[in-house]
Amino acid sequence: GDSVTQMEGPVTLSEEAFLTINCTYTATGYPSLFWYVQYPGEGLQLLLKATKADDKGSNKGFEATYRKETTSFHLEKGSVQVSDSAVYFCALGGSARQLTFGSGTQLTVLP
Protein backbone atom coordinates (compact mmCIF):
# COMPACT_ATOMS: atom_id res chain seq x y z
CA GLY A 1 0.00 0.00 0.00
CA ASP A 2 0.87 3.67 -0.09
CA SER A 3 3.32 4.95 2.50
CA VAL A 4 5.31 8.06 3.38
CA THR A 5 8.63 8.08 5.19
CA GLN A 6 9.60 11.33 6.76
CA MET A 7 12.77 12.59 8.38
CA GLU A 8 12.81 11.91 12.09
CA GLY A 9 12.76 14.90 14.38
CA PRO A 10 12.99 16.96 16.31
CA VAL A 11 14.96 19.46 14.27
CA THR A 12 16.39 22.52 15.98
CA LEU A 13 17.82 25.39 13.94
CA SER A 14 18.94 28.93 14.54
CA GLU A 15 17.05 31.76 12.88
CA GLU A 16 18.10 32.34 9.24
CA ALA A 17 19.48 28.79 8.89
CA PHE A 18 18.69 26.61 5.88
CA LEU A 19 16.00 23.97 6.36
CA THR A 20 15.61 20.59 4.69
CA ILE A 21 13.06 18.00 5.80
CA ASN A 22 13.32 14.78 3.83
CA CYS A 23 10.28 12.92 2.58
CA THR A 24 10.12 9.79 0.42
CA TYR A 25 7.06 7.87 -0.64
CA THR A 26 5.86 4.55 -1.97
CA ALA A 27 2.76 4.60 -4.13
CA THR A 28 1.16 3.11 -7.18
CA GLY A 29 0.30 5.44 -9.99
CA TYR A 30 0.98 9.16 -9.86
CA PRO A 31 -0.21 10.61 -6.56
CA SER A 32 -0.32 14.27 -5.64
CA LEU A 33 2.12 15.24 -2.91
CA PHE A 34 1.57 17.71 -0.11
CA TRP A 35 3.24 19.40 2.81
CA TYR A 36 1.05 20.42 5.71
CA VAL A 37 2.06 22.39 8.81
CA GLN A 38 0.54 22.13 12.28
CA TYR A 39 1.02 24.85 14.88
CA PRO A 40 0.44 24.04 18.56
CA GLY A 41 -3.20 23.50 19.38
CA GLU A 42 -4.32 23.86 15.78
CA GLY A 43 -5.35 21.73 12.82
CA LEU A 44 -3.34 21.17 9.66
CA GLN A 45 -2.65 23.99 7.23
CA LEU A 46 -1.83 23.25 3.62
CA LEU A 47 1.65 24.59 2.96
CA LEU A 48 2.24 23.52 -0.64
CA LYS A 49 1.45 20.81 -3.16
CA ALA A 50 2.64 19.28 -6.39
CA THR A 51 0.58 17.13 -8.71
CA LYS A 52 3.05 15.64 -11.19
CA ALA A 53 6.70 14.81 -11.70
CA ASP A 54 9.09 17.79 -11.69
CA ASP A 55 6.39 20.13 -10.36
CA LYS A 56 7.68 22.55 -7.74
CA GLY A 57 5.31 23.67 -5.03
CA SER A 58 6.13 26.86 -3.16
CA ASN A 59 4.59 29.05 -0.49
CA LYS A 60 5.87 31.47 2.18
CA GLY A 61 9.48 30.79 1.19
CA PHE A 62 9.09 27.01 1.41
CA GLU A 63 9.67 24.85 -1.67
CA ALA A 64 9.45 21.19 -2.58
CA THR A 65 9.98 19.44 -5.91
CA TYR A 66 8.18 16.25 -6.94
CA ARG A 67 11.00 13.84 -7.88
CA LYS A 68 9.56 10.69 -9.38
CA GLU A 69 12.95 9.10 -10.09
CA THR A 70 13.87 9.22 -6.39
CA THR A 71 10.24 9.10 -5.10
CA SER A 72 10.97 12.14 -2.96
CA PHE A 73 9.37 15.45 -2.04
CA HIS A 74 11.84 17.17 0.28
CA LEU A 75 10.82 20.44 1.94
CA GLU A 76 13.30 23.32 1.88
CA LYS A 77 13.49 26.90 3.06
CA GLY A 78 16.46 29.15 2.65
CA SER A 79 16.13 31.16 5.85
CA VAL A 80 13.88 30.00 8.68
CA GLN A 81 12.21 32.26 11.20
CA VAL A 82 11.13 31.67 14.78
CA SER A 83 7.53 31.76 13.52
CA ASP A 84 8.24 28.66 11.39
CA SER A 85 8.43 26.54 14.54
CA ALA A 86 5.77 23.86 14.08
CA VAL A 87 5.26 20.24 13.06
CA TYR A 88 5.53 19.52 9.35
CA PHE A 89 3.77 16.61 7.66
CA CYS A 90 4.44 15.17 4.24
CA ALA A 91 1.43 13.48 2.63
CA LEU A 92 0.40 11.78 -0.55
CA GLY A 93 -3.07 11.76 -1.99
CA GLY A 94 -4.84 9.42 -4.34
CA SER A 95 -8.08 9.44 -6.22
CA ALA A 96 -10.08 8.38 -3.16
CA ARG A 97 -9.42 11.61 -1.23
CA GLN A 98 -7.57 9.62 1.41
CA LEU A 99 -4.35 11.28 2.43
CA THR A 100 -1.49 9.11 3.67
CA PHE A 101 0.72 11.04 6.07
CA GLY A 102 4.27 10.76 7.26
CA SER A 103 4.97 10.73 10.98
CA GLY A 104 5.66 14.46 11.17
CA THR A 105 8.81 16.45 11.90
CA GLN A 106 8.93 18.85 14.82
CA LEU A 107 10.87 22.00 13.91
CA THR A 108 12.08 24.46 16.52
CA VAL A 109 13.75 27.68 15.41
CA LEU A 110 15.78 29.54 18.04
CA PRO A 111 16.30 33.31 17.93
Partner 1 sequence: KAGVTQTPRYLIKTRGQQVTLSCSPISGHRSVSWYQQTPGQGLQFLFEYFSETQRNKGNFPGRFSGRQFSNSRSEMNVSTLELGDSALYLCASSPPGPNTDTQYFGPGTRLTVL
Query: For binding to partner 1 (CB under 8 A), which residues are involved?
Result: 32, 34, 36, 42-46, 49, 51, 89, 93-104
Q: Distance between CA atoms of 85 and 38, rounded to whole angstroms?
A: 9
- Closer Cβ to partner 1, 6 or 80, answer by number: 6
- Closer Cβ to partner 1, 43 or 111, answer by number: 43
Amino acid at 54: D
- Closer Cβ to partner 1, 14 or 51, answer by number: 51
In angstroms, what is the minimal distance from the CB of 46 to partner 1?
6
In angstroms, what is the minimal distance from the CB of 64 to partner 1?
15
In angstroms, what is the minimal distance from the CB of 83 to partner 1?
19
Contact 13, 108 (CB under 8 A): yes
- Closer Cβ to partner 1, 49 or 77, answer by number: 49
**Alpha carbon distances (Å) from 18 to 11, 65, 82, 104:** 12, 16, 13, 19
Count Cβ atoms within 10 A of the Cβ of residue 77 and give its class: 0-12 exposed, 13-18 middle, 19 or more buried: buried
